[in-house]
Structure 1
Amino acid sequence: MRFITGCAVLAIFFSASTHANPLIDQLIGVTNQYLEREVSEYARSLGGDPRHEIRLSRLDARLRLPLCAEDALSAQLESPDVPIGRVTVRVTCNGPSPWRLFVPAQVSLYQHVVVSSRPLQRRDVVSAQDVRLAERDTGLLGNNYLLDPAQAIGMQLKRNVNADTVLGHTQLEQNRLVQRGDKVVISAGNASVDVRMPGEALEDGTLGAQIRVRNTRSNRVVRARVTGPGQVEVGM
């Protein structure tokens, strides 16, 4: 079966016309119906019943292809993997005169995400007073957002942010309890022996991270696990 496709067909979606065209109506109808179903199902899977909006790109009314019987018409998400953000829907007619078209659209999904409640500075540690929930279009955010303030509390800012900034992995990192050059206490021991020595961190470390530290008494460099601010532990 030979489908009508090609660059000329793809280009039709970037010009506008006010003339009525039954094919355009059919494309709009099947694409909207498909996206409404897919987006609603995806939104339900997230919980909380977030609202959504679907906006199709304007189609060129000069397009001349045969109308397709409803039972021969199908739609499928071409890209991306989830029906959110900038999407492309592949509409296919499997009738006697088959054709295939690609319809671009913008899908907005509004969820309550974590934002900064005030301006924050690089290396600030986020507290409960620093964040709040606000509704944003997550279709524009990719994966760079959080839904629970607890996910941000205790994290450290990678850069300065303004108030009402959406917080995600590009702005936050694990709090570095030890930084390179810090004076630290090196602990080593077991149930019966507890030895503490002064040391210097040779690299940054978050809670539980293994970092290099120098024992400032012996000048020996060892690997130790960060257990708290200024505290590291080595095994015996």
Structure 2
Amino acid sequence: MQMPCLKNADTPRLKRWGLWLGVCVLSQAQLGFAADSVATDTAFEVLQKQALQWAANHPSFQGKQVQVVPVDPRITVQSCQQTMQFEHPFPNQPAIRVRCAQPVWQLFVNLNSAQAFAPPNRANAPAPVLHKVLVSKELLKRGTVITPAMFNSAEMPAAGMENQIISDAKLIKNMELVRDLVPNTPLRSYDVKNAILVKRGHEVQVTAGEGQGFSITMRAEALQEGGLGEQIRLKNVESGRSLYGVITGPNAAKLR
């Protein structure tokens, strides 16, 4: 920086003026340095502070913790020379309108809010009731004929589905899934149906005479499909005679 220089400063009067000017220049330089060293808020930071003050007293945000979402980097927020004006024109939306009178501009910003509340005191909350359930060991696809080996027994809360859970592995024999079942999911009554153990046109091993002192096995063609315990119509492969049998397992039946 070039300092001002006074000629003929040997006179007392000029010496006094030169001393005054030197002090003045030095003071101004010190003041300028001090002003530069004080950090000032950006225009957006000022907007944030005023928006939070406004939201603290507005019915839509009062009692909530809010945060001003940063604006698009392509948008330049101008410094406002007056107090900004805020509005919430869309009650069901997080957007608020910010207006400045000098210079004149307006901007929409979003307030992310979360209801401020104290965490519930669970110290005295009753322990959830546990129920014995069957949970799948792995992903089981719809249409799978399930067996007890596909499930583990576990205990877990079952609020709202106490009458729907299946806890006895014996009940799922020859049952079929009607929807996919992900691992560790409890099995419910509406997840299963009786599996189709005999399909129409398939060969069926039919037994007769059990419990009567003799046993006969014959081959028959299924004229109907069905699940465990259902009665279907069959046709003897050798004689062509029609008969009825009760399904006892996969492609197995006994005469009625």
TM-score of the pair, normalised by structure 2: 0.42
- TM-score with structure 1 length normalisation? 0.45
More strand by percentage:
1
Higher relative contact order (Cα pairs below 8 Å, separated by 6+ residues)? 1
